[in-house]
Amino acid sequence: MSAVILVEGESDRIALETLAQRLRRSVEIVPMGGAQAIGVYLSRFRHRRVAGLCDAGEEEIFHRAFEHAASLGVACLGYQVCVRDLEDELIRANTAGGVEAVLEAQGDLHAFRMFQKQPAWRGRRIESQLRRFMGSADRRKLRYARLLVEALDLADVPRPLDAVLASVGR
């Protein structure tokens, strides 16, 4: 029985697929379009081994759904929780300087510097600025999910991403 990893959205899918490719692992990763759909997806994949990855704010939803699915006999492998969210994990793993290097390579560093000058973001931690910048333009979050995983030193893979891939095996 093959395994599937359920994730909240497209950026999570892109990041995990990119990491799985880098680690030479084959796994099906399914974006659900939001954590609230977890129950539907767990029932859809009831005949497969199922793992999950979620943001900290959605942990309770995942906990209840996985607990319920396991009581119905679904082969639940558990789920992993990003400390805050996927972007936070990737920014911390790459460091702010590493993320800025990726932005520069993509021609987005100037736009980020302009973003930092906005009154609402002046004086905030650079990690918070980077996180917000990633989500502030159409499709930027999706593009940087792949780019930040590609930039990762494999010794620094965020624990939740590493653990969810390990839970489904090779």
Tens digits of residue pLDDT in 114-157: 999 999 999 999 999 999 999 887 789 999 999 999 999 999 99
- Does residue 110 surpass a pLDDT of 90? yes
Residues 76, 61: one domain?
Answer: yes
Residues 28-85 have pLDDT tens digits of 999 999 999 999 999 999 889 999 999 999 999 999 999 999 998 899 999 999 999 9
Question: Which of 92-96, 98-102, 133-137, 146-150 bottoms out in mean pLDDT, i.e. has the lowest?
Answer: 133-137
Residue 2 confidence (pLDDT): 84
105 and 59 in one domain? no
Q: What's the pLDDT at 136?
A: 84
Within this chain, do residues 112 and 133 fall inside the same structural domain, yes or no? yes
In a shared domain, residues 13 and 70: yes
Domain total in the chain: 2
- Structural domain including 129 reads 86-154
Residues 159 and 81 placed together within one structural domain of the fold: yes
d(CA 84, CA 56): 5
Quote the pLDDT of residue 1.
57
State whether 73 and 13 are in the same domain: yes
pLDDT band at 169 (very low <50, low <70, confident <90, very high): confident
pLDDT at 72 (0 to 100):
87
Distance CA 147, CA 139 (A): 13
Structure pTM? 0.94
Q: Tell whether 81 and 23 lie within a shared domain.
A: yes
Q: Are residues 94 and 24 in the same domain?
A: no
- Over residues 11-37, mean pLDDT: 96
What is the reported pLDDT for 170?
A: 67
Residue ranges of the alpha helices (H) in the chain?
A: 10-22, 38-44, 59-71, 86-105, 109-116, 126-134, 140-151, 159-167
